[in-house]
Amino acid sequence: MSDVARCAGVSYATADRVVNGRAGVSEKAARNVHAAIEALGYVRNVAAANLSQQRLYRFAIVLPSGSNAFFRRVQALFAEAAARLLSDRISLSVESVEAFDAEALTARMAALAESRLDGVAVVASDDARTASAIAALRARDIPVVTLVSDVPGSQRNAYVGIDNVVAGRTVGRLIRMAHGGRNGRVLPVVGALSARDHAERLSGMREVIGDTFEIAPVVEGRDRFELVEALVGQALAEDPAITTIYSAGAGNAGLVRLLEALPPDVARPYVFLHELVPHSRRALEEGRIDVIIDQRPEEEVARVVEHLTLLADRRELVRTDPIVPTIFVRENLPQVQADALEQAG
């Protein structure tokens, strides 16, 4: 740093301000420092800088509240990470807002913009209000990572999650394979069509199944198991032509309960759903559903922490490719994951 300051013709303090991205430096001085950095091949030692400043990273994670078993699992994983990362001077606080409530979400994000944070990760809705809330955080120099569901038209720094269109296409292929060339009728179940991840999954499925399959009216269960149970039960009673249920959202505890109540002599539809949680695992083990598409929340949590730390240090992200989901059938369920799910469930 002393060499950079000498080469740029500025004080050590000025060079330090420029290198660490702090304000209070003239344009001319900043240009001179950047030119000196390039000429000398200087590389900032982030670890040493953080150690000398006794820096504490402060990150906030905003998740949907409610009965969604998947997000309860994600919350538990962040809690485990928070306890583990304190020794690395990383503080994780987990916030929650009502699922599908864009007004509550943007209000929470606005409050976070007033806090002294180093980064925010959010399960966001794809609408103008959310995009504006993300822009407000970025205006305060707070990096934003979207998690599970993306807001691609916003100023977010990165997205962590699976490619939901590809996940839907995968389910579409599995549906075609299950029917063996026969026609069918698919009942789609989502939390809400306003949820980008759910809408993208249905879009991907439709691309693959094409005109061979009819699509029944979409069930919007708001990720509430009792509503999913009631609405899917009604759809099956009124539409006996349904051959497949594709649940692209949550609330699947209600779907499982409905399937458990079917009489033994009634042939159930093929069932494809997302997320390996205790009730979906049990249903797969018992043969009540056929396939689970899991987006590997352990990997998502690890990437969020990695992304936020790199962004706070103004470094390039190492991994930006979508997470590849795991396809679970009854025969390949991992026992170690079963133990973890039971503890979190």
94-103 residue pLDDT tens: 999 998 898 9
**Predicted pLDDT of residue 43:** 75
304 closest CA partner among 149, 99, 100, 158: 158
pLDDT of 183 higher than 90: yes
Q: How far apart are CA 107 and CA 128, in angstroms?
A: 13
Class of the CATH domain delimited by 55-161+297-314: alpha beta
**Predicted pLDDT of residue 63:** 97
**What percent of the chain clears pLDDT 90, i.e. is strictly above it?**
76
pLDDT of 152 higher than 60: yes
Mean pLDDT over 70-94 rounds to 94
- Rg of the chain, C-alpha, whole Å: 24
**Predicted pLDDT of residue 50:** 53
As a three-state string, the secondary structure of 221-248 is CCCCHHHHHHHHHHHHHHCCCCCEEEEC
Q: How far apart are CA 141 and CA 119, in angstroms?
A: 9
Mean pLDDT over 313-325 rounds to 93
Residue 89 CB partners (closer than 8 Å, separation 6+): 50, 54, 55, 56, 57
The letter for the amino acid at 205 is M
pLDDT of 302 higher than 70: yes
The letter for the amino acid at 305 is V
Mean pLDDT over 121-130 rounds to 92
68 closest CA partner among 299, 344, 304, 330: 344
Identical fold for domains 55-161+297-314 and 164-294, yes or no, is yes
- Residue with structure tokens 């955080």? 137
Domain residue spans in the chain?
Answer: 2-44, 55-161+297-314, 164-294
* Helices 252-260, 278-285: crossing angle, 10 deg rounding: 30
CATH topology (fold) of 164-294: Rossmann fold (3.40.50)
Per-residue pLDDT band for 340 (boundaries 50, 70, 90) equals low
Superfamily (CATH) of domain 2-44: lambda repressor-like DNA-binding domains (1.10.260.40)
pLDDT of 339 higher than 70: no
**Least confident segment among 3-7, 14-18, 119-123, 159-163:** 14-18
Q: Give me the sheet containing 158-160, strands edge to edge.
A: 90-98, 57-65, 119-122, 144-147, 158-160
**Predicted pLDDT of residue 49:** 57
Residue 203 CB partners (closer than 8 Å, separation 6+): 165, 168
Mean pLDDT over 304-312 rounds to 96
Both tokens assigned to 17 = 């301000």
- As separate numbers, helices (DSSP H) first and strands (DSSP E) second, the chain gives 14, 12
**Predicted pLDDT of residue 163:** 97
- Residue with structure tokens 């009792």? 226
Per-residue pLDDT band for 181 (boundaries 50, 70, 90) equals very high
pLDDT of 303 higher than 90: yes
For 33-67, how does the pLDDT look when each residue is reduced to its tens digit (9 = 90+)?
Answer: 899 888 888 876 655 555 445 579 999 999 999 88
Residue 117's Cβ-side half-sphere holds a number of Cα atoms within 13 Å equal to 25
User: Which one is predicted more confidently, 99 or 166?
Assistant: 166
Mean pLDDT over 125-145 rounds to 94
CB atoms near residue 307 (< 10 Å): 24
